[in-house]
Amino acid sequence: MLPYIKDRRRIASDKMGEYDFDRLTRYRRVDVLLKALDDENEHQRFKAVDALEAVALASGDADSSARDVLVQAATQNAYDDVKLHAKIALKTLNTSQESRTQKANNDLENGPNIESTRNATKKQQREYHHDENRLLCELDDDSTTLIVRGSSLSPRHRLSAIKGGHWDKETSVWRFPINRESIESLKESGVVLHPTVQCLSTSSHNTWAVGTRNKKWVKVLGDTHEIEANLKQVPGAQWDKSEKAWKVPFKADSIKRLIQIDGLYVSPFILD
């Protein structure tokens, strides 16, 4: 086999879905890394984002192609894990390249794709809150419970029949544990799910990572027994005895480690 053919096969094996990411990074093959972002293998997608981040860091202002791919992936990729990881990569680039911070912020904060998506999300959230007669389920500020709001709610509302719920007299909302059983029961009762809760409902996992409203912590909810060893390896991870949940500092490196854990669904709304 000719050497150059052998090298091309080592760079990317399309049929196997396997990539030589060291070579792709070294030769700055953004075109192949772009393809890898859509790989069926989640691990391959994760490594592709990491490689693009490395290429963007090495290229600087001379070539923005890798950064442009990350900006596009942050809003348009078909996989939620890629969108979230790309956003984190862009934030990391912003803090790592001090001499290029202004340009990085412009790409991330003022790019037309991300800005339009952000405006659409805010508009959608306003629409969810507009109809006061509608019962809306969302996460509370600390992501400790599900809360249901609505002008027709009362201590004797039909939601009282749902297991685990209780009426919060101080805030006039119903509160429920954050688990799939609660979410499904609320849906069956006609409660509208906020997008931050809907994404948990449609995920294939029962262990979820969600952010607090103040962007201080990421909480891992659900049965964490099988992933506990991996959680302990995440920088700053700690077990909260009172909440009976793992908490991770809201930092890019920590969130990237969470994305790598098999069996854990990381909410794409963490960075919104």
**Confidence (pLDDT) at 78:** 92
Any idea which fold 203-266 has? Answer: MutS, DNA mismatch repair protein, domain I (3.40.1170)
Vertex 31 angle, CA 26 and 35, to 5°:
110
How do residues 166-205 score in pLDDT, each as one tens digit? 999 999 999 999 999 999 999 999 999 998 898 898 888 8
Q: Domain limits of the chain?
A: 3-119, 131-198, 203-266
Domains 131-198 and 203-266 share a fold: yes
> For strand 208-211 and strand 265-266, is the pairing parallel, antiparallel, or unpaired?
parallel
Q: What is the pTM of this model?
A: 0.62
How do residues 147-175 score in pLDDT, each as one tens digit? 999 988 999 999 999 999 999 999 999 99
Any idea which fold 131-198 has? Answer: MutS, DNA mismatch repair protein, domain I (3.40.1170)
Please, what is the average pLDDT of the chain? 82
> Confidence class of residue 69 from pLDDT cuts 50, 70 and 90?
very high
Strand order through the sheet with 136-139: 166-168, 173-176, 146-149, 136-139, 192-193
Q: Alpha helices of 164-204 — where are they, by DSSP H? A: 180-188, 195-202
